[in-house]
Amino acid sequence: MELRLTRTFSDQYCTIGKMYCNGTFECFTLEDSPTLRPDNKGTIPVGKYSVIIDFSDRFQKYMPHVLDVPGFTGIRIHKGNTDKDTEGCILVGIEEGKDCLEGSKIAFDHLYIRLKNAESHNDPISLTITEEF
């Protein structure tokens, strides 16, 4: 399965994008602002990453895990609505608002089912991050 996250907007609060699964729009995304991270790491670098589903000690459940992100550890794709809900991770939602997402649980649950289905069929999951701003 090929995921593509295309960042479309960024301001001092967050970065908004769109996620596609195998070329079809799946959901909106929200990440930290590249300028306001306390550790000055910014957002996940543009590039291609492997994604697995494994157990998160922090969230105490199985979640999508973006592997080998330079300068980051524990990058997950998960539910959340604003930059306060992420520490470098990728949030998903069905609607974008002003510096927020709506319908995060619905978007995550749908995406998670697709990812689990790919995993159960031994279909490797990749994530390519690009920018259009």
Looking at residue 36, its pLDDT comes to: 60
Q: pLDDT tens digits, residue range 57-89? A: 999 999 999 999 998 899 999 999 999 999 889
On the question of pLDDT at 19 being above 60, the answer is yes
Q: How far apart are CA 93 and CA 70, in angstroms?
A: 25
Q: Among residues of the chain, what percentage have pLDDT more than 70?
A: 95
On the question of pLDDT at 40 being above 80, the answer is no
On the question of pLDDT at 37 being above 70, the answer is no
Looking at residue 92, its pLDDT comes to: 98
The H or E element containing residue 120 is helix 104-120
Q: How far apart are CA 35 and CA 66, in angstroms?
A: 21
Task: Give the residue-averaged pLDDT of 11-30.
Answer: 96
Give the burial string for 98-127 (b: 16+ CB within 10 Å, else e). Answer: ebbbebbeebbebbbeebeebbeeeeebeb
Q: Output the DSSP codes for 57-119.
A: TTTTEEEEEE---TT-SSEEEE--SSGGG-SS-EEEESEEETTEEE-HHHHHHHHHHHHHHHH
